[in-house]
Amino acid sequence: MDPQEALKAASDKVSTFKSVTVDMTTKAPAATAGVGGATATKGKLGWDPLAMDMVVKTGQAEAGMPSEIPMKWDGDVMYMDMGTDGAAQMDGKRWMKIDLAAAAKAGGAGDAMEQFDQLMGSFNQGPAMQIDMLRAAKDVKYVGTEKVGGVEAKHFRGTVAGDALLNTEGALKGMDAETQKQLRDSFKKSGLKSQDTDLWIGADDLLVRADGKAVTKDGTVTTKTLYSDFTGTLKVTAPPAGQTMDLMKMLQGIGDLTKDGGPSDADMKELEDALGGE
């Protein structure tokens, strides 16, 4: 079996869909910005356009954030369910609304928003990106046939070196220029040295499982993702307006207070609590 031909067929097949159900676990060193520790993510992922309806579990509450956070992504807007404790700090509204386009325009997003933007760029490529990145490996090989969740699947394995991850003729080939830049910047910032990838492709040429091991300057990041129910465009229902607190409007209000002589201690405490501060 020619691994390149099989992976190309899988990439083409996956690209005909617009969404999929994912069950992903990630383990990262504590030093890794924004993603240190273990997380579990389950739900629907859509791409082109990007959309999400997922639940993220971190295993423990950190910095005032709940350990389990339902998340929705619709257009340029992300919603995070901050739970009953969060609602108590947001006038009874449990959903935090973050308009990422407005945040980028305001220019005050900082590194966290930059990292999130890069992550979203990779998500918007869909599972086909996982397949195309493995195709850039010089040592890609067919391992054999195995069962994944009761499904017979062809197992492929390879390692993509750091230079290929940055190369538009390697792992980034075929992606639009904006996404190439986002991923290249992300790879450089993390000090990504190599990416070990194992993929399982079903008889219908659809991806059923993807395992990754990325060696970075902070240590090794491992991921395991199960894919099922490939389908059409994902429709996300935003939370009711009456249940959402607009983060950008809150920040704008704090800015207006600053112009008028500065926010009160109570105003700053409210903002800190809403953002999960201690």
CATH code of the domain containing 211: 2.50.20.20
Q: What is the arithmetic mean of pLDDT over 256-272? A: 52
Q: Is the pTM of this model over 0.85?
A: no
Q: Among 46-50, 130-134, 163-167, 174-178, which stretch is predicted with the lowest mean pLDDT?
A: 163-167
**Is the link from the previous residue into 49 a cis peptide, with omega within 30 of 0?**
yes
Q: How many domains does the chain have?
A: 1
Range of the domain at 151: 3-274
HSE-CB at 122 with a 13 A cutoff on CA atoms is 18
For 94-114, write each residue's pLDDT tens digit.
Answer: 999 988 777 766 655 445 455
The whole-angstrom separation of Cα 77 and Cα 92 is: 20
Token pair for residue 213?
């091991």
Residue 207 vs residue 92, higher pLDDT: 207
Query: Can you give the pLDDT at residue 48?
Result: 83
For 4, the token pair is 């390149």
SS3 239: coil
pLDDT for 231 beyond 60: yes
- Residue 198's contacts (CB-CB under 8 Å, 6 or more residues apart) are 143, 155, 156, 157, 209, 210, 211, 212
